[in-house]
């Protein structure tokens, strides 16, 4: 029987995805990538799911790409390999539902990239982060050249992406690479708590916020035009009416994504 490389669990309106190849430190083999893409697509298509949590089994988040699968690689094959991986990046960044990463242990190479595609990154105090690509003669991929500079200053971006420096969880928190540092073994619980808060938010507003942030820095006129279009959509939603009524009634809103 073929092993399940991505364990899927539903907790209320949260979809928990666990990378499940701990004997290989959850390296992103081609098969694991395919299962993860399918699991994310299924979660995004499920109207009952309001947030996702991504973690790894075996005390490790993800040790990066599967180097053994790169033997005999060619330039054209490498491009196709990355095109398939880019589908995962687009799903997580622009898929419309909040995603929280819970990192225990190593987040190396594409594992770091994968964590940074999430909206919030919770790290155990024992976590280690490294954009290790240049150690094997590659440049950062899985959108790390986009995500890392969004989180840290230019000097740190170059240290991480060019020198392949490993940073511990405390340093990652100080420089903004991760959003929360919690005791060892507590990353998943904290991430689920954050996902629960996000799941209570207005789904359409959160989806449009993700789409806007995915576009990155823009000229002011382009940003204001996008803001007018997206906010205009939200002015016509039932969630706005609910949020307004709840505020005036001093009660907690119940958003439905309509």
DSSP letters for 49-104: --EEEEEESTT-SB--B-GGGGTT--HHHHHHHHHHHHHHHHHHHHSSS-EEEEE-
Residue 256 lies in a domain: no
Residue 144 lies in a domain: yes
**Average pLDDT of 72-76?**
62
Residue 33 lies in a domain: yes
Within this chain, do residues 154 and 214 fall inside the same structural domain, yes or no? no
Q: Global pTM?
A: 0.92
The SS3 call for residue 217 is coil
Within this chain, do residues 21 and 94 fall inside the same structural domain, yes or no? yes
Residue 245 lies in a domain: yes
- Which pLDDT score, from 0 to 100, does residue 191 have? 98
Closest by CA to 89, choosing from 129, 45, 164, 140, is: 140
Residue 191 lies in a domain: yes
Within this chain, do residues 221 and 155 fall inside the same structural domain, yes or no? no
Q: How many domains does the chain have?
A: 2
The token duo for 229 is 């279009």
Residue 31 has pLDDT above 60, yes or no: yes
- The rounded distance, in Å, linking the Cα atoms of 210 and 215 is 9
Within this chain, do residues 113 and 32 fall inside the same structural domain, yes or no? yes
- Which pLDDT score, from 0 to 100, does residue 79 have? 73
Least confident of 16-20, 44-48, 114-118, 135-139: 135-139
| Per-residue pLDDT tens digits for 218-247 | 888 998 898 999 999 998 999 999 888 998
Within this chain, do residues 65 and 178 fall inside the same structural domain, yes or no? yes
Task: Pick the last residue of a domain from 184, 199, 214.
Answer: 199
Range of the domain at 237: 203-249
In this structure, the number of other CB atoms found within 10 A of the CB of residue 256 comes to: 12
- Which pLDDT score, from 0 to 100, does residue 80 have? 74
238: CATH: 1.10.12
Q: Which pLDDT band, with edges at 50, 70 and 90, does 64 fall under?
A: confident
The residue among 83 and 25 whose pLDDT is bigger is 25
- Which pLDDT score, from 0 to 100, does residue 83 have? 81
| Per-residue pLDDT tens digits for 85-103 | 899 999 999 999 999 999 9
Residue 133 has pLDDT above 70, yes or no: yes
Residue 182 has pLDDT above 70, yes or no: yes
Residue 2 has pLDDT above 80, yes or no: no
């Amino acid at each position: 029987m073929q092993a399940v490389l991505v364990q899927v669990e539903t907790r209320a309106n949260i979809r928990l995805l666990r990378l499940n190849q701990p004997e290989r430190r959850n390296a992103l083999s081609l098969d694991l990538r395919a299962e993860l893409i399918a699991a994310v697509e299924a979660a995004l298509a499920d109207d009952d799911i309001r947030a996702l949590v991504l973690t790894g089994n075996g005390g490790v988040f993800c040790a990066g790409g599967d180097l053994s699968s790169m033997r005999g690689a060619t330039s054209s094959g490498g491009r196709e390999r990355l095109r398939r991986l880019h589908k995962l990046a687009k799903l997580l960044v622009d898929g419309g539902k909040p995603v929280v990463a819970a990192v225990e242990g190593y987040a190396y190479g594409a594992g770091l990239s994968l964590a940074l595609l999430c909206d919030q990154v919770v790290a155990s105090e024992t976590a280690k982060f490294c954009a290790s690509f240049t150690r094997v003669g590659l440049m950062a991929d899985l959108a790390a050249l986009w995500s890392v500079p969004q989180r840290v200053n230019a000097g740190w971006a170059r240290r991480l992406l060019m020198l392949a420096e490993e940073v511990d969880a405390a340093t990652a928190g100080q420089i903004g690479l991760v959003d929360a540092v919690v005791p060892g073994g507590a990353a998943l619980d904290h991430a689920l708590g954050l996902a629960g808060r996000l799941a209570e938010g207005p789904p359409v507003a959160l989806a449009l916020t993700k789409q806007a942030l995915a576009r990155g820095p823009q000229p002011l006129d382009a940003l204001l035009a996008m803001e007018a279009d997206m906010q205009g959509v939200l002015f016509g939603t039932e969630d706005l009416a609910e949020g307004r009524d709840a505020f005036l009634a001093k009660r907690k809103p119940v958003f439905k994504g309509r």
